[in-house]
């Protein structure tokens, strides 16, 4: 497995590493999961889509919060847990208002994750002894039996805004141990999500109209065995004045 870059909140910097590193896990370069490439991606760019990840570096992204590891392997962004670290996020430097976001993800069983949208970085949270905190809308990635992938959670704020209880189609859309496609449309006060093409959340909430996009590695307490989540084919399309 080729490891091409790494980024850590502990050091606050990115570094390039040459050579090949053999580690366990699933390669990212293949396209066995939902989504394609080639001519379809060329047409997508003509429709206003912009890639947020170049497949080789973490340029345009910054780690916020905890000290989980983020890097690039086999053309994917990889997040890996570290013991006793809080939730950690790889966030865009740019902010987005009204937009459509698409990406693919693959998560290890037992690891919760999520995708932040219209979120903000709070470097000095009042009354909290932390290294700062990401706050805002999180689209859930939930491989547990609860199966709430696609639900919307307010990270560092109000908690669950819309779970997947009662939406059995969405709860059954997530594919364990496989690549999954997530789509998010943020337009005005409305946030909508899809998991592998199945409608999940549909929330109207006007608290935040713009902000960063982020990829979460959830904290795992004292567990020392690393767990991973992978992302690829991350792209965004601005809607109206977003």
Mean pLDDT per 10-residue section of the chain, whose length is 242 residues: 50 37 45 47 69 97 96 98 97 98 98 98 77 95 98 97 98 98 98 99 97 98 97 97 64
Domain boundaries, the chain: 3-238
Q: Which two tokens stand for residue 220?
A: 């795992």
Query: What element of type H or E holds 45?
Result: helix 39-46
- Please tell me whether the overall predicted TM-score, pTM, comes out greater than 0.75 for this model: yes
- Assess if CATH 2.60.120.560 describes domain 3-238: yes
CB 60 within 8 A of CB 94: yes
Within 10 A of 219 (CB to CB), how many other CB atoms are there? Answer: 19
**Beta partners for residue 160, in sequence order:** 153
Q: Which two tokens stand for residue 223?
A: 């567990």
């Amino acid at each position: 497995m080729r490891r091409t870059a790494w980024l850590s909140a502990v050091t606050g910097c990115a570094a390039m590493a040459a050579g090949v590193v053999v580690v366990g896990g699933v390669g990212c370069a293949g396209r066995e999961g939902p989504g394609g490439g080639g001519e379809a991606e060329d047409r997508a760019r003509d429709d206003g889509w912009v890639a947020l990840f170049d497949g080789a570096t973490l340029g345009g992204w910054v780690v916020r919060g905890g000290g989980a590891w983020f890097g690039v392997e086999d053309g994917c962004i990889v997040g890996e847990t570290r013991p006793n670290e809080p939730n950690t996020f790889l966030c865009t430097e740019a902010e987005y208002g009204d937009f459509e976001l698409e990406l693919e993800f693959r998560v290890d069983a037992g690891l919760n994750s999520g995708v932040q949208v219209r979120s903000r970085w709070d470097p000095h949270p009042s009354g909290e002894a932390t290294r700062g905190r990401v706050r805002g809308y999180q689209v859930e990635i939930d491989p547990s039996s609860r199966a709430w992938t696609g639900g919307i959670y307010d990270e560092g704020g109000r908690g669950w805004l819309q779970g997947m209880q009662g939406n059995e189609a969405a709860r059954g859309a997530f594919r364990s141990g496989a690549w999954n496609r997530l789509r998010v449309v943020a337009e005005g006060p409305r946030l909508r999500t899809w998991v592998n093409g199945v409608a999940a959340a549909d929330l109207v909430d006007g608290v935040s109209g713009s902000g960063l996009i982020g990829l979460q590695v959830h904290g795992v307490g004292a567990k020392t065995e690393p767990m991973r989540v992978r992302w690829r084919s991350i792209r965004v399309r601005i809607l109206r004045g977003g």
